[in-house]
Structure 1
């Protein structure tokens, strides 16, 4: 939890923001430099998207999703299978790269491995995600994502894509988690031009270009829709790098410590290196992740400049709670979701997001989960054979639950297209970190948890030994 430290020595360079305190250094980003990054973006991806639109024009979208009548909705379900397949922007890029110099430029960029990439280190970084699997997913869900809704500018983009409205939030979050699992699945998954993690990352890059084009086009037609001067270019360089930071730096130096877990220095370096390569593929600035200290300083800078909750922040943060509570397979209560979010984000930011306060009972549940996570994480990493086995099991379990199971994506991996509103920016998977799930509930989704016996009276803490 974000406990205040009464013994902390404060200096002229001590900075505090929403309960998070750190020391300012020369590696931190100045406010002026941060402001400049709001108006720079992945221009190459935009040029590529224009070429792909010429090759395969995007389907026209209905003028308003809310204008569809009940009868029309019913008929649309019947005709769902007759709809034309959505565009696969990655496939279009791959198949037409030799016929257009702009497409070739992007293809050559993403398939050229930077000299700073160390493949064994990338592999170790992928393992780190699963070594702390449960705590990492908890941090991504309740701090990186939900707490990230405190970013005043970013939520303006999210609100305009509808990606975190109540109706679609749950699936969008599963799709985002799918991307995280794809880039951490194996070294082969990041093989240039072939790996599924490589492909999905380039797809997300092109999706971001499509979102940017859509928002800017609507803003040009109706200036009140979105203000570039106020919020910056949608999905700009600062946003993209901050997204990478939420998957990496935020987990290492905020989420895990608040759960009582501290990575080794070598683990932090490996994990940052892995996400730096993903940043390269997705078109985000990579220099901020050249060293662990720079990555930490960038994360702290973004937290200081960007986390300023608005009413839109409040709406989207609470949408996540509403969309996820009492959902299978965890059936987590809204109170427990709120307790998790308040624990990881601290009282100041949680109050600013108007997250409901919870009883001592739910706070103690969260404390018990953190204690269990810490005990198992430290125990398993101390024995190499146990560590390897846990990483191997979690890779399979996470994929089964998120992608293959009927509670997740039902075996239908997303192509990250842009057929209507939706935006993939942050990851979430809350269902395997619910501390009160009965074995009887898990036994009903045995296709997801093939390793688990059916025990009717045993509480979820037994499951944590497998998933964390």
Structure 2
């Protein structure tokens, strides 16, 4: 299994507008923040506790990286394997060997049957989860300054790489959900990041999904499904280097409380994050010139506007307005409702017909792997670090395009 790169270059405190308020909140206090309804509890984390995580990384991996001297574009895991294959007396430091030992170990708490059930949850709700990951987790994630800084600094928002990054992340998620084999020790690699960044990333793939499914799409996972899905991502988090100091991934309730704490601590939507969001959606809506002409000639819905309405439907009107993004016209909202209805039909068939679940899941896997391969040049990505971009042409283009949009 491979996991996407994430680099954090400093640990400078950068808090959301409500971060300081969390220091004095009493249990039972109810907050409304850009559409989030939060009831503060003993499970929530103060901003000061979260801020301390910005100074904690993966010391074991950091020490190994210093010895291995991995360059941008090189496969970290291949270099690590080659290093530890040398006789011990020829190894400069024991750090890489210690890292490999940890990578090969499976934590005692891992329940492989529950991991397998978590994978089944992904395929059961595939269309809802995919919708949530793109139009909620990723589109909304730009409102956390630390996340947007990582993406711009690594070049993932430069030109066509925006769409490429989404397909790389799709490959990552498909690998996780494909089979238990993809999650076995010895098939992954890791990069530097802080624990708060990693926890935020972990929750964007796990409990963010079931929360937005419930509140915005009217789909409710059972408690067992949430526990299984979280267990899958808890193990993935371990492979990514997440040191869950606060035990936030042990139950859905603890995960939800930690997620809400991170939102109050880090998320601050503004017009700049709106430009990043629009750039992402414009890249995902990009079509060949001939297809664009056909769409305009026939008066078909604009793919970019459709992506915008899909994102607004999940992020909410308050969050969308804070991002400085325009709301779309009624026909696009009707299309959004039609899409959700079709997804509901698929879910009903999945729950009623086991053969449909198997056949449709296999078809999705094959189709999406073909799409990923096509967009990544028929090769599996290794998530190498990109160069630092000098300009952000897609962001500029998106901001200009937004000025021309009519609701």
Question: Where on the TM-score scale, by shorter chain, does this alignment land: which range?
Answer: 0.7 to 0.9
Q: Give the Cα separation in 1 of the matches to 2:62 and 2:273.
A: 28
Relative to the length of structure 1, the TM-score reads: 0.69
Selected match of 2:146 from 143, 149, 153: 153
Question: Per the alignment, do residues 31 and 366 of structure 1 end up closer, same or farther by CA in structure 2, a change over 3 Å counting?
Answer: same
Q: Give the Cα separation in 1 of the matches to 2:120 and 2:359.
A: 11
Number of equivalent positions? 345
Selected match of 1:284 from 213, 233, 242: 242
Residue 109 of structure 2 corresponds to 116
Q: Secondary structure at the match of 2:31?
A: strand
Q: Give the Cα separation in 2 of the matches to 1:315 and 1:165.
A: 13
Q: Does 1:318 align with 2:283?
A: no
Q: Secondary structure at the match of 1:16?
A: strand
Deviations 1:100-137 (A, max 9, x none): 41011111112100011001111111121111111111
Q: Give the Cα separation in 2 of the matches to 1:275 and 1:239.
A: 15
Taking the TM superposition and a 5 Å limit, the aligned residue runs for 1:378-457 are 378-403=348-373, 406=374, 408-421=375-388
Residue 34 of structure 1 corresponds to 50
Deviations 1:136-171 (A, max 9, x none): 111110100001111123222322222123432111
Residue 127 of structure 2 contacts residue 343 of structure 2 at CA under 8 Å; is this kept in 1? yes
Q: Secondary structure at the match of 2:113?
A: helix
Residue 254 of structure 2 corresponds to 294
Q: Secondary structure at the match of 2:41?
A: coil
Q: Give the Cα separation in 2 of the matches to 1:157 and 1:311.
A: 18
Residue 37 of structure 1 contacts residue 237 of structure 1 at CA under 8 Å; is this kept in 2? yes
Selected match of 1:306 from 262, 266, 277: 266
Residue 338 of structure 2 corresponds to 368
Q: Does 1:334 align with 2:304?
A: yes
Question: Per the alignment, do residues 381 and 416 of structure 1 end up closer, same or farther by CA in structure 2, a change over 3 Å counting?
Answer: same
Deviations 1:349-391 (A, max 9, x none): 1111222210011011111111221232133124434333333
1:320 is displaced (CA, Å) by 0.7
Q: Give the Cα separation in 2 of the matches to 1:379 and 1:297.
A: 33
1:13 is displaced (CA, Å) by 2.0
1:312 is displaced (CA, Å) by 3.7
Q: Give the Cα separation in 1 of the matches to 2:322 and 2:359.
A: 41
Residue 317 of structure 2 corresponds to 347
1:400 is displaced (CA, Å) by 2.2
Q: Mark the runs of 5 or more structure 2 residues left unpaired by the alignment.
A: 1-26, 86-90, 293-301, 390-407
Q: Secondary structure at the match of 1:146?
A: helix
1:291 is displaced (CA, Å) by 1.2
Residue 41 of structure 1 contacts residue 237 of structure 1 at CA under 8 Å; is this kept in 2? yes
1:274 is displaced (CA, Å) by 0.5
Q: Give the Cα separation in 1 of the matches to 2:65 and 2:137.
A: 29
Q: Give the Cα separation in 1 of the matches to 2:53 and 2:359.
A: 42
Q: Mark the runs of 5 or more structure 1 residues left unpaired by the alignment.
A: 1-10, 60-85, 210-234, 423-468
Q: Give the Cα separation in 1 of the matches to 2:134 and 2:208.
A: 12
Q: Secondary structure at the match of 1:366?
A: helix
Deviations 1:68-121 (A, max 9, x none): xxxxxxxxxxxxxxxxxx421110011212534101111111210001100111
Question: Per the alignment, do residues 421 and 172 of structure 1 end up closer, same or farther by CA in structure 2, a change over 3 Å counting?
Answer: farther
Question: Per the alignment, do residues 419 and 316 of structure 1 end up closer, same or farther by CA in structure 2, a change over 3 Å counting?
Answer: closer
Q: Give the Cα separation in 2 of the matches to 1:334 and 1:174.
A: 18
Relative to the length of structure 2, the TM-score reads: 0.79
Q: Does 1:87 align with 2:74?
A: yes
Residue 405 of structure 2 corresponds to none
Residue 130 of structure 1 contacts residue 395 of structure 1 at CA under 8 Å; is this kept in 2? no
Residue 260 of structure 1 corresponds to 218
1:328 is displaced (CA, Å) by 6.3
1:338 is displaced (CA, Å) by 0.6
Deviations 1:393-440 (A, max 9, x none): 32222222223xx3x223211112225249xxxxxxxxxxxxxxxxxx
Residue 74 of structure 1 corresponds to none
Q: Give the Cα separation in 2 of the matches to 1:117 and 1:92.
A: 27
Residue 155 of structure 1 contacts residue 312 of structure 1 at CA under 8 Å; is this kept in 2? no
Deviations 1:255-286 (A, max 9, x none): 45412211121111111000101100111133
Q: Does 1:143 align with 2:130?
A: no
Deviations 1:173-206 (A, max 9, x none): 111111111121100111111xxxx42xx2xx22
